[in-house]
Copies of this chain bind each other. A is one copy, B any other.
Amino acid sequence: MKALWIENRCLTYRNDIPEPQPAPSEALIRVRLAGICGTDLELLRGYYEFTGIPGHEFVGEVISLGEGEINEWSGRRVVGEINIPCGGCSMCLKGYPTHCEQRMVLGIRGHPGAFAEALVLPVRNLHRVPEGVSDLAAVFTEPLAAALEIQEQVKVRPSDQVLVVGAGRLGLLAAQTLALTGCKLQVAARHPLQQRILGDWGISWIEEGEIAERGFDIVVEASGSPDGFALARRAVRPRGTLVLKSTYHGELTANFSSLVVDEVTLVGSRCGPFEPALRLMKTGLIDPRPLIQGVYEFEDGQKAFEQAARPGGLKIILLPEANAR
């Protein structure tokens, strides 16, 4: 089958990859659309050890099932959770499968990803896409779930003043979900396209220089840059909460004494719940499609990654050739 392949920090298009076979308890899924995420760009930069097919944001269709799996999934349009836990370690047994110590992660660790014509995932990872949610929306389920993880971890009050630092792929989704709380939301947005999208959604954006120091009850750091972290740290009020929604390359230096003196709570936040994400798109309360900036076939994967990596770049969608015809 056709797929994109990362090896030695190089991305190549290949059409010689054998189609995966579903093991018992797995489903074989034909990929309808896939999305490029910041983590994919980091895999290519070599921030994580990875060789294989990247990609973990997708919407697809179940085309076959491993031995013993019931047929109700057959032909279903699905999205899939990306963590594949072992089921037996202490984290799994405590009910934190996304933190399984031996976990495989679709397109990120030990499991071939979604930038391919087909992928396999355990059936228990799948969620049916409701009617009325288009493929172009459903492909955002995974990052939208990650945005919702903020509300899963932190109580956001309708009266809170909330700042999102960074209006990229994840920052814009976080802004959309935070706006649902009724909180007083501002988004630090640098790029005209980001500012326009926020404006269309009726969400206030501000320039970095205008941000009130110690002015926010909750600050979401979604820029992934040390400068963004420093900005977010300055913006959070004493006893406020700083949500870290991005990973950082390497180590980061911070003044921990000031975190203690100001009694700031720092919350690391990663993968989130799929069903609420699907519900919010079904009801139309969230429509992530304005984030789409380009659609490419796998053969143009290199161009797609280049566009996604541009400063202020938003969502790039990959389309298996079969669909494009």
Contact = CB atoms under 8 A, between A and B. Distances in A.
Range class of the A interface residue count = 35 or more
A257 B247 contact: yes
Q: A-side binding surface: helix, strand, loop or mixed? A: mixed
Interface string A100-120: 010000000000000000000
A252 B247 contact: no
The list of the 4 closest CB pairs from A to B, nearest first, reads A99-B238, A266-B266, A247-B257, A259-B268
Contact of A253 (B247, B252, B260, B261): B252
Contacts of A261: 247, 268, 270
Contacts of A253: 251-254
Interface of A: 91, 96, 99, 101, 153, 214, 229, 237-239, 244-257, 259-270
B246 A260 contact: yes
B229 A263 contact: no
Contacts of A153: 263, 265
Contacts of A248: 256-257, 260
Given A261-B270, A266-B265, A269-B263, A256 B244 contact: yes
A245 B259 CA distance: 10
Q: Max chain B CB contacts within 10 Å: which of A91, A247, A257, A259?
A: A257
B263 A99 contact: yes
Contacts of A269: 260, 263
B238 A260 contact: no
